[in-house]
Structure 1
Amino acid sequence: MPFVTAAKIQSHRIDYVIIGGGTAGLVLAARLTEDPNVTVLVIEAGTHHVEEPVIDVPGYMGRGIANPKLDWTFLTVPQKRANNNVVLQPRGKGLGGSSHANFLGMFRPSKEELDALEVLGNKGWNWDSLLHYTKKSETYVPVPISDEDAEKYAIKLDPTLHGTDGPLKKSFTKEWPKIHESTFLAAESLGVPKNPEPSGGRNLGAVSALISVDPVTAKRSYASPAYLEPNLHRSNLLVLIEAHVTKIIFEEAAGLQKAVGVEFLKDGTVHRVVGVQREYIIAAGTFQTPQILELSGVGNPDILHKFGIKPLVDLPGVGENLQDHVGVSTIVEVKPIEVTVDDLVDPELAKKHEELYKEKQEGFYAMIPASGNIFLSAEHIGSDSDVKNWQEHMHTQSTETLAKVNPALRSGLEKQYAIQRELFASKEQAQAEVLQYVGHQPVPYAKFTPGKHYNSFFCALMHPLSRGSVHLASSDPLASPAIDPNYFANEADLDLVVHTIEFALKLNKTPPLDALVIGPHIPSKEVLEKGKAGLEEYVKANCGPVFHPVGTASMLPREDGGVVDATLKVYGTSNVRVVDASILPMELSCHIQSLTYAIGEKAADILKSEHFPA
């Protein structure tokens, strides 16, 4: 029985403390406790979600957003280049973290992007290594599909690229929306081919989403049921829930800071865990990992002094280099050729599909409304002169960021930009993504009219040039951090999003998709009549994230502004590591969920090799 109380922790000999029971944290805990002689304590601020339909039912995806039980519901600081808007930044709350809240798509980046991690100074972090660990995390479960449908929806997987015995289940949807096929054919007419196997290092083109759904149960497969619940019998796996870590306690030893305890708040009382035998691992995610580091005295001394925190390790990269895919939705009204999410406002139809899901694991709720994605190169969305202009903006001096004045951060960012220039020059690398949502995507800037049918394209930038930050907003550890994506700090980002919207608008006017489109919903006709200037204002007024934040504890050399080394150890400490998506120094052309599992798997082997060598 792994769930413990704060009082009972002290009676256990603990080898590792993992701060955060999210995606990577649970992977790491499960793998380390495969050795019965290793005891791991996971401290999670949220709770354990069991039989929660909003999480489990694929067709309910997105319903947990802004639910305080399921979502941290973070907000940005006002975005000065986006009409001073405060933008919602959802993050999964509870065991499983954002793996219980994501939109289920399991997309991988390109080979060159992952190899770039090694180029940036991280030995052993490359395509081959991370493919191995991604496969280790998963089991692909085939669902029946006819040869005709496989051709329509671009499905021809290479079995050697997918896992066969990992904890996480992934599959294709059992039913396909008809408009999906029309979208892919229109994309082909615009020079974007279907890509029936995007998981092998070439993700460009129109692809059908592999989703983290177990087709046998028709339920979401995520970190908690995949990695935690099968191991609840392990006496060496301890889980403390609804406990908020406030800081790590350090002592200096041999010129480094050694963690000697962790402090947490539970039920209004402050507790400490001390005497941990090996290491403290922060797995709190891109927004909360830098917050914990700063509360513990690790970070930029100028920021720490503001909040009365004694600097213990001078690491200016903590909380810097924040990146996320940024974009905006376009929606058109379409002919009612099939049942979509739009029809489920009818209570009788919704009830019918709920019963179908319960009885046969079929119907609308067994699938997701977002199963088609189009990954575009710079060539697809811009002219040669556009690409040249974007590349000319790939320099630190073109971006308003702390890296302009901090030599270490500037060095690291210039190295990132050098890689981005190469990626932009390639016709094989995705720079934008058009995410199809069959129906009216629930966005605050567009109203749904019952009885009408819609098709949505969310237009997102894959490799933003802007860099933001996450820092303390208060010395109160329960306060949300100050999240600043710094949207459009590099003006090329705005232009790139506008060009992606223009591609989506063109897609809607291309056969055979055009035959299904009745007319524009958003952007409105009035906005479209203003041309590029109208689209720029539309983006600034309505932009938001795709919920893939990375970079705030970057895995880079320390002299390049890095926070952790290639073994994920925090610089200046002897026994603290970070294991989550915050270590990724550059945004990737994928949905980062699949890579976060791989980070947890690789981290487990790193720790095993250091502490328990063969």
Structure 2
Amino acid sequence: MNESARQPVPAGDNDEYDYIVVGAGSAGCAIASRLADTPGVTVALLETGPDDHHFLVSTPVGVAKLAVAEGPRNYGYRTVPQPALNNRSSFQPRGRGLGGSSSINGMLYIRGHRNDYDRWAQLGCAGWSYEEVLPYFIRAEGNERFARGPANPWHGVDGPLYVSDQRSLSPFSQRFIDAARQLGMPLNDDFNGEHQDGVGLYQVTQHNGERWNTARAYLHRGNAADTAFNGGRAGLAVMTGTVALRVEFEQQRARGVRVVRDGVERSLRARREVILSAGAFNSPQLLMASGVGPAAHLRELGIPVRCDLPGVGENLQDHIDVTIRKEVPSADLYGYSLRNIVRMIPELMRYRRDRSGMFSSNVIEAGGFTRTRPNLAEPDLQFAFILALVGSRGKNAGKKAPPGYSCHATNLRPQSRGVVRLRSADMREAPLIDPRYLSVESDMDNLVTGVRLTRKIYAQPALAEAGGRELFTDDFGPGEGDEQAIRAYIREHADTLFHPVGTCKMGVDSMAVVDPALRVRGVEGLRVADASVMPTLIGGNTNAPTIMIAEKAADLIRASAH
């Protein structure tokens, strides 16, 4: 029987599909959707967590709760203690549920610098230069700003991922931009255009004042009330509450996935390919649980070695940043005070009425990019100005902080490299995560510069005239500040900006896990397509690049089928 004439089956009622995609996050939703658009093709999309129909997911300000605390929509992993962070364990949020981390992130639409992708190509990743990946960014993007004007060579307007300017801005966001300009930084109204340098307002993945995650973009097809999850495509089976236990093989070819759902184990068969899109922590975890990874580590846990692939779980890279906080008694900022709480009541009514106001904000409206040294080829620091005092994460999240603002200064291209390993062969147990933050001295040096620049911005009239007081920086001293005190502050306060990548890196060297077509080396019928394949961390937020990887992966997979 001709495969294109085969009748697709209802979601969840079948054990055999053309493709099985593991993980319905930023990458998995896009890949499954694009593959399911092919007539006659059947796709199973497996997701451990729940659906994304929840007020905190669709309401942008919900990021303040979803991103910082473990819960049904956040795996809330923790690293092993980090020596350079005073042996603190870092909270590692990862989205759990349809949309993955695009359902809990800050919604910033940032692609990184063009040099990032040209660097991938130089490392042997043919087909991944900036000019070659730009069409996939454009295909995914539905940018509302550029839909109103002449065509823009860097942006798309017809893609499923809505991108928009923010609807209601805090006056403090403009204060930050004005202060950075007073320090000499240029204004930039499009960080994804010709130049990245400068300060300005971030565009966000929102539509009509609501979060636009990849589930809404690719699965619901714009209809948030679509409870079938498949956008009307009978060949797409979306299975929530489904844990992938291991990839199943026949000799060296992936033939399916062993899963557990509602307490019952079953095997799902893949006629063509299995695609792992479970993210920088869970994709290498699943590979290793399936016998693909560093042989010595697998044998320690009693896992039969299918393929000795030493790079699996290596090369972990993440953006580490440091935040300077300033308490300011203003109702234009978020925080706990009687005046602020009273203001939230009409703001909630305003959001319900027309999806505007403080509830439509992602709380990170302004920021920018700069170079710590003039001879650098691209910016190496990113600022994210937050309209609240950044507080505790994980189990301590939710502590009532007074109104204020914060600014993340992020080291965009850290040299430190970490590792992901198995705790056990059971995928229901969290992996061991060791980012080895600040294990390379230059990473600390960059953050010291970031602290100093942030404080200089705060000292400019546009922000200084609003008053307030910095927290935890009393011992820095005047001028540039005492370097040893700044380093001590960083060791006590620096943490992740939630951008882990690289643990199934793409390349051609001996530590590469996938080739430039994203095929896992040493086996057949198995690919990885998510942030874990990035050979190096890009200079910016990682959600948009992950979606780009998925768009390109779908084309690579469809091309191989023909």
* TM score, norm. by length of structure 1: 0.84
Taking the aligned partners of 2:210 and 2:174, their CA distance within structure 1 comes to: 25
Taking the aligned partners of 1:81 and 1:518, their CA distance within structure 2 comes to: 31
- Decide whether aligned partners of structure 1 residues 550 and 124 sit closer, same or farther in structure 2, where only a CA change above 3 A counts: same
1:341 maps onto 2:290 in alignment = no
Counterpart amino acid of 1:299?
G
- Decide whether aligned partners of structure 1 residues 233 and 47 sit closer, same or farther in structure 2, where only a CA change above 3 A counts: same
Q: Once the 2 structures are TM-superposed, how far is the Cα of residue 269 of structure 1 from its aligned partner? A: 2.4
- Counterpart of 2:447 in structure 1 is 497
- Counterpart of 2:3 in structure 1 is none
- Counterpart of 1:262 in structure 2 is 257
- Counterpart of 2:233 in structure 1 is 234
Taking the aligned partners of 1:24 and 1:258, their CA distance within structure 2 comes to: 23
Q: Once the 2 structures are TM-superposed, how far is the Cα of residue 539 of structure 1 from its aligned partner? A: 1.2
SS at match of 1:49: coil
Question: Which one of 262, 266, 270 corresponds to residue 271 of structure 1?
Answer: 266
SS at match of 2:315: strand
Deviations 1:219-249 (A, max 9, x none): 1101111100124321110111111111111
Deviations 1:312-335 (A, max 9, x none): 212111000101110121111336
- Counterpart of 2:379 in structure 1 is 430
1:602 maps onto 2:552 in alignment = yes
SS at match of 1:142: helix
- Decide whether aligned partners of structure 1 residues 163 and 368 sit closer, same or farther in structure 2, where only a CA change above 3 A counts: same
Q: Contact conserved, 1:555 with 1:568, CA < 8 A, in 2?
A: yes
Aligned ranges 1:27-38 → 2 under 5 Å:
27-38=30-41
Taking the aligned partners of 1:224 and 1:202, their CA distance within structure 2 comes to: 30
Counterpart amino acid of 1:226?
A
- Counterpart of 1:547 in structure 2 is 498
Deviations 1:32-51 (A, max 9, x none): 1111211111111111121x
Aligned ranges 1:469-488 → 2 under 5 Å:
469-488=419-438
Taking the aligned partners of 1:300 and 1:370, their CA distance within structure 2 comes to: 40
1:136 maps onto 2:142 in alignment = no
- Decide whether aligned partners of structure 1 residues 453 and 46 sit closer, same or farther in structure 2, where only a CA change above 3 A counts: closer
Q: Once the 2 structures are TM-superposed, how far is the Cα of residue 439 of structure 1 from its aligned partner? A: 2.5
- Decide whether aligned partners of structure 1 residues 447 and 598 sit closer, same or farther in structure 2, where only a CA change above 3 A counts: closer
Aligned ranges 1:316-355 → 2 under 5 Å:
316-334=310-328, 336=330, 339-342=332-335, 346-355=340-349
1:58 maps onto 2:32 in alignment = no
Taking the aligned partners of 1:548 and 1:447, their CA distance within structure 2 comes to: 22
SS at match of 1:322: coil
- Counterpart of 2:171 in structure 1 is 178
- Counterpart of 1:225 in structure 2 is 216
Taking the aligned partners of 1:158 and 1:546, their CA distance within structure 2 comes to: 33
SS at match of 2:487: helix
Q: Once the 2 structures are TM-superposed, how far is the Cα of residue 179 of structure 1 from its aligned partner? A: 2.4
Taking the aligned partners of 2:266 and 2:143, their CA distance within structure 1 comes to: 42
Q: Once the 2 structures are TM-superposed, how far is the Cα of residue 264 of structure 1 from its aligned partner? A: 1.1
- Decide whether aligned partners of structure 1 residues 23 and 448 sit closer, same or farther in structure 2, where only a CA change above 3 A counts: closer
Taking the aligned partners of 1:518 and 1:601, their CA distance within structure 2 comes to: 46
Q: Contact conserved, 1:157 with 1:196, CA < 8 A, in 2?
A: no
Taking the aligned partners of 1:282 and 1:192, their CA distance within structure 2 comes to: 41
Taking the aligned partners of 2:245 and 2:57, their CA distance within structure 1 comes to: 28
- Counterpart of 2:190 in structure 1 is 197
Q: Contact conserved, 1:556 with 1:563, CA < 8 A, in 2?
A: yes
- Decide whether aligned partners of structure 1 residues 21 and 449 sit closer, same or farther in structure 2, where only a CA change above 3 A counts: closer
Taking the aligned partners of 2:543 and 2:442, their CA distance within structure 1 comes to: 27
Question: Which one of 554, 557, 563 corresponds to residue 508 of structure 2?
Answer: 557
Counterpart amino acid of 2:265?
V
Deviations 1:192-236 (A, max 9, x none): 211122212521111310001102xx2110111110012432111
Taking the aligned partners of 1:519 and 1:198, their CA distance within structure 2 comes to: 30
- Decide whether aligned partners of structure 1 residues 477 and 314 sit closer, same or farther in structure 2, where only a CA change above 3 A counts: same
Gaps of 5+ in 2: 1-7, 222-229
Q: Contact conserved, 2:10 with 2:234, CA < 8 A, in 1?
A: no
Q: Once the 2 structures are TM-superposed, how far is the Cα of residue 610 of structure 1 from its aligned partner? A: 1.6
- Counterpart of 1:23 in structure 2 is 26
Q: Contact conserved, 1:77 with 1:483, CA < 8 A, in 2?
A: yes
Taking the aligned partners of 2:147 and 2:139, their CA distance within structure 1 comes to: 24
Taking the aligned partners of 2:445 and 2:161, their CA distance within structure 1 comes to: 38
- Counterpart of 1:251 in structure 2 is 250
- Counterpart of 1:405 in structure 2 is none
Counterpart amino acid of 1:513?
L
Q: Once the 2 structures are TM-superposed, how far is the Cα of residue 143 of structure 1 from its aligned partner? A: 10
Q: Contact conserved, 2:334 with 2:404, CA < 8 A, in 1?
A: no
SS at match of 2:56: helix
SS at match of 2:64: coil
Counterpart amino acid of 1:502?
R
Deviations 1:369-413 (A, max 9, x none): 211112111227xxxxxxxxxxxxxxxxxxxxxxxxxxxxxxxxx
- Decide whether aligned partners of structure 1 residues 496 and 169 sit closer, same or farther in structure 2, where only a CA change above 3 A counts: same
- Counterpart of 2:50 in structure 1 is 47
Counterpart amino acid of 1:161?
W
Q: Contact conserved, 2:328 with 2:469, CA < 8 A, in 1?
A: yes
Deviations 1:468-518 (A, max 9, x none): 011101122211000111011112211211210111011111233222233
Q: Once the 2 structures are TM-superposed, how far is the Cα of residue 144 of structure 1 from its aligned partner? A: 12
Taking the aligned partners of 1:120 and 1:489, their CA distance within structure 2 comes to: 23
Taking the aligned partners of 1:2 and 1:464, their CA distance within structure 2 comes to: 47
SS at match of 2:83: coil
Q: Once the 2 structures are TM-superposed, how far is the Cα of residue 121 of structure 1 from its aligned partner? A: 0.4
- Counterpart of 1:363 in structure 2 is 357
Taking the aligned partners of 1:113 and 1:352, their CA distance within structure 2 comes to: 44
- Decide whether aligned partners of structure 1 residues 589 and 344 sit closer, same or farther in structure 2, where only a CA change above 3 A counts: farther
- Decide whether aligned partners of structure 1 residues 170 and 85 sit closer, same or farther in structure 2, where only a CA change above 3 A counts: same
- Decide whether aligned partners of structure 1 residues 610 and 447 sit closer, same or farther in structure 2, where only a CA change above 3 A counts: closer
1:532 maps onto 2:483 in alignment = yes
- Counterpart of 1:75 in structure 2 is 78
Taking the aligned partners of 2:399 and 2:259, their CA distance within structure 1 comes to: 44
Q: Once the 2 structures are TM-superposed, how far is the Cα of residue 356 of structure 1 from its aligned partner? A: 0.7
Q: Contact conserved, 1:143 with 1:172, CA < 8 A, in 2?
A: no
- Counterpart of 1:514 in structure 2 is 464
Gaps of 5+ in 1: 146-155, 381-424
Taking the aligned partners of 1:344 and 1:34, their CA distance within structure 2 comes to: 51
Q: Once the 2 structures are TM-superposed, how far is the Cα of residue 250 of structure 1 from its aligned partner? A: 1.8
Q: Contact conserved, 2:111 with 2:540, CA < 8 A, in 1?
A: yes
Q: Contact conserved, 2:125 with 2:507, CA < 8 A, in 1?
A: yes
SS at match of 2:20: strand
- Counterpart of 2:226 in structure 1 is none
Most deviating of 90-99 and 195-204: 195-204
Deviations 1:98-157 (A, max 9, x none): 010110110121111111111110111011222111111121113999xxxxxxxxxx99
Q: Once the 2 structures are TM-superposed, how far is the Cα of residue 159 of structure 1 from its aligned partner? A: 2.7
Q: Contact conserved, 2:11 with 2:235, CA < 8 A, in 1?
A: no
- Decide whether aligned partners of structure 1 residues 219 and 2 sit closer, same or farther in structure 2, where only a CA change above 3 A counts: farther
Deviations 1:334-376 (A, max 9, x none): 363x522126764432221111100121211122221111211
Q: Contact conserved, 2:255 with 2:525, CA < 8 A, in 1?
A: no
- Root-mean-square deviation (Å): 2.3
Counterpart amino acid of 2:421?
H
- Decide whether aligned partners of structure 1 residues 448 and 267 sit closer, same or farther in structure 2, where only a CA change above 3 A counts: closer
